Structures are given as C-alpha cells and as structure tokens.
C-alpha cells in the first residue's frame, strides 16, 4: 500500500528533508491498556488498530509517533504489526519513536536502540526523540549519542520532546557541531494551550528551523465538544483522563461552541475544525499527532488535513483562544 495519495499535502520535518503530512497519528493508545497506561487508554484489539492505521494511510497520513514508554515496546510492536498487516513498505512511511531518559545516562540511547528497532521491525526509525528533558546526562551528551546513531545509519534524524526553549537551543547547538539539524520538539499545543507563543518556543523553532510537534492537540477529546454535550461521558473515561478533562470543561465552553458552529457550516466535526486551525495557523512550523481509538476518529484526522478555514473563521477561533497563550513560570 502506498502511504502517499496523489495531491496529499506534505511539509518538511525541520531541515531534514523528510516529508510528512501536517497531521500524523499518535499511538500511545496502542499500548494495550496495561501497566500505568491503563489509567489513560483502554486496550484496543489488534484488528481495530489495523483498521485505524489503514484509514490514516488511505487518507494521506504518512507518519506515526510512538515511544519506548508507551507500554515499554507494546505500542511500537502494535504499530509495526498494523503497518505489516496493511502491506506498507518501509520507504512509504515515516516512523517516529522516543527514548525515555528517567534515571538513565546517555549511554542508554545506544544500548536501547537495538530494542527499538526490533520492536518496530521491519520499519526503520525516521525520527528518534528524547522523550523529556530530565536525565542523568547533559543535553550535549544525549545529542552526541543520538548523532552517533545517525552516523551508524540506525536512525535518520533527531528530535526532542517537552524541552524548554533554552534546552532546545542547547540540543540544536550540540547537533549542529556534529553537522546535523535538530528536527523537532514535541510539546503540548492546542487551542487550549498556546503557550508556545509566549514562552519563546515558537519564535525559537522558526529561528532554528525546528518543527513543533503538537501532542494532545484535541486535549484528550475536550475540543471535540462531546463532553460539553454530555458530561456523563466523563464517568466512562480512565481515572487520569477523567480528572484532567473535568478541569477544562467550563473554561473551554465558549470556544468549543464556536468551533461547533464553524464545523456545522463546513459539514465536518468540531474536532476537524480544531485540528485544521492548529496545523494551518502557524504555517508549516507546527504539525500535530492526534490519536485515534476509533476508525471514525482516524477519518476526522484525515479530514483535518484537507479542510481550509476562511480568514474570518480562523480569526474568530483565534480571538476566543487568545487567553490560552498566557505565560507560565515553568515548563514548555
């Protein structure tokens, strides 16, 4: 199966030359609902995962983001199985994964790459990311370890996740000395979290040519409007998600209402409008990785890649969302 239908929009991942769809597919939900992951996502049947991945591919989505920490290899294996089931060739897909620092040194990056590649076999790692900034190693040491993997041909590019502006600049500088670009920084961005505009991340990304990968772009479903229509749905969500969603229900009501009106005018869902705004408002600098636990959600992700909002619609959403740009003292 080809993952690149004719006419599908592509943007460049940083300055790597790797081309991706503005919207990819996040795959934490493929972690089989075990361990701590069960507090966030329930287990998905592999046949359903195969269909979700197929829907994304047919619709022009060509990249998938997973991580070591998503079930400690389970998400990676589940994703690879779904790609194989759909007959996808390695050269037709972009796979991103992440190394989890925790209480590890930079040497762990080289030691664990064998496991990452085995879990994702036969798909190569186009983007390998440091999952979070706290580690028993300097940023330079981590980037040098990643650069070693690029030079060995074990990964294609290097990214980071949840890095502050200053740390992102350090990562970029360390890779630059090795003749490599920093491809990306994966941080939380949505219409309810626009802090990249006030904490320096967006400006730095544009300056350095780094792609911002937005995780949780629908705020765990809050921007779909379904919880505003039926708050009782929260009772069915895993504990951690239920708590976080309740905190945002009232503060997002006016914005979600406007998203719904624009969605009705365009014949799409509220989620499609929220995602389309995100990957178009910032130009090619911001891409997004919404998840999908249903085929219909994967279809919405595809529609968001295609929808073009008018200037008036974009402006109305911007105006109601501006207050979510506020600066915070710590964190990305």
CB atoms within 10 A of CB 326: 12
- Tell me the per-residue pLDDT of 17-75, one tens digit each, with 9 for 90 and over: 999 999 999 999 999 766 555 545 678 999 999 999 999 999 999 999 999 999 999 99
Phi and psi, residue 99, nearest 5°: -95, 130
Residues 63, 174: Cα–Cα separation, whole Å:
26
The catalytic site residues sit at 70
Residues 195, 109: Cα–Cα separation, whole Å:
30
CATH 3.40.50.2300 fits 11-220+282-307, yes or no: no
The residues spanned by each domain of the chain are 11-220+282-307
The pTM of this model reads 0.92
Average pLDDT over residues 202-220: 96
pLDDT at 204: 98
**Is the pLDDT confidence value at 187 over 90?**
yes
pLDDT at 19: 98
Q: Is 122 exposed, middle or buried (0-12, 13-18, 19+ CB in 10 A)?
A: exposed
Q: Which position has the token pair 């085929």?
A: 295
What b/e sequence results for 6-38 when a residue is b if at least 16 CB atoms lie within 10 Å of its CB, and e otherwise?
Answer: eebeebebbebebebbbbbbbbbbbbbbeeebb
- Tell me the per-residue pLDDT of 76-135, one tens digit each, with 9 for 90 and over: 999 999 999 999 999 999 999 999 998 999 999 999 999 999 999 999 999 999 999 999
| Contact call for residues 125 and 99 (beta carbons, < 8 A) | no
- Tell me the per-residue pLDDT of 266-315, one tens digit each, with 9 for 90 and over: 999 999 999 999 999 999 999 999 999 999 999 999 999 999 999 999 99
- Tell me the per-residue pLDDT of 141-179, one tens digit each, with 9 for 90 and over: 999 999 999 999 999 999 999 999 999 999 999 999 999
Residues 225, 199: Cα–Cα separation, whole Å:
28
Measured CA to CA in angstroms, residue 187 lies from 159, 160, 269, 301 at distances of: 11, 9, 25, 19
């Amino acid at each position: 199966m080809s993952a690149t239908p004719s006419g599908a929009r592509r943007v460049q991942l940083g300055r790597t030359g790797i081309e991706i769809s503005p919207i990819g597919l996040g795959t934490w939900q493929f972690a089989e609902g075990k361990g701590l992951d069960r507090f966030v996502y329930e287990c998905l049947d592999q046949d359903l995962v195969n269909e979700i991945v197929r829907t994304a591919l047919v619709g022009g989505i060509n990249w998938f983001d997973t991580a070591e920490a998503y079930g400690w290899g389970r998400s990676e294996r589940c994703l690879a199985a779904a790609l194989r089931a759909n007959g996808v060739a390695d050269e037709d897909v972009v796979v991103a994964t992440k190394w989890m620092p925790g209480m590890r040194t930079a040497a762990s990056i080289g030691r664990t790459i064998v496991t990452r590649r085995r879990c994702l076999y036969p798909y190569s790692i186009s983007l390998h990311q440091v999952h979070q900034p706290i580690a028993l190693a300097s940023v330079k040491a981590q980037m040098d370890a990643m650069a070693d993997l690029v030079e060995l041909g074990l990964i294609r590019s290097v990214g980071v996740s949840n890095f502050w502006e200053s740390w992102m600049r350090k990562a970029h500088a360390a890779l630059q000395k090795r003749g490599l670009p920093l491809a990306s920084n994966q941080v939380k961005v949505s219409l309810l979290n626009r802090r990249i505009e006030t904490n320096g991340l967006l400006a730095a990304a544009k300056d350095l040519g780094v792609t911002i990968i937005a995780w949780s772009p629908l705020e765990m479903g809050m921007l779909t409007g379904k919880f505003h229509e039926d708050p009782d749905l929260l009772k069915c969500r895993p504990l951690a998600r239920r708590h976080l969603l309740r905190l945002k229900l009232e503060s997002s009501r006016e914005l979600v209402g406007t998203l719904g009106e624009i969605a009705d005018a365009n014949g799409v869902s509220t989620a499609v409008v929220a995602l389309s705004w995100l990957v178009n408002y910032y130009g090619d600098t911001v891409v997004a990785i919404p998840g999908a636990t249903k085929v219909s959600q994967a279809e919405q992700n595809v529609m968001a890649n295609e929808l073009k909002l008018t200037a008036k619609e974009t402006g109305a959403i911007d105006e109601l969302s501006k207050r979510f740009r506020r600066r915070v003292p710590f964190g990305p």
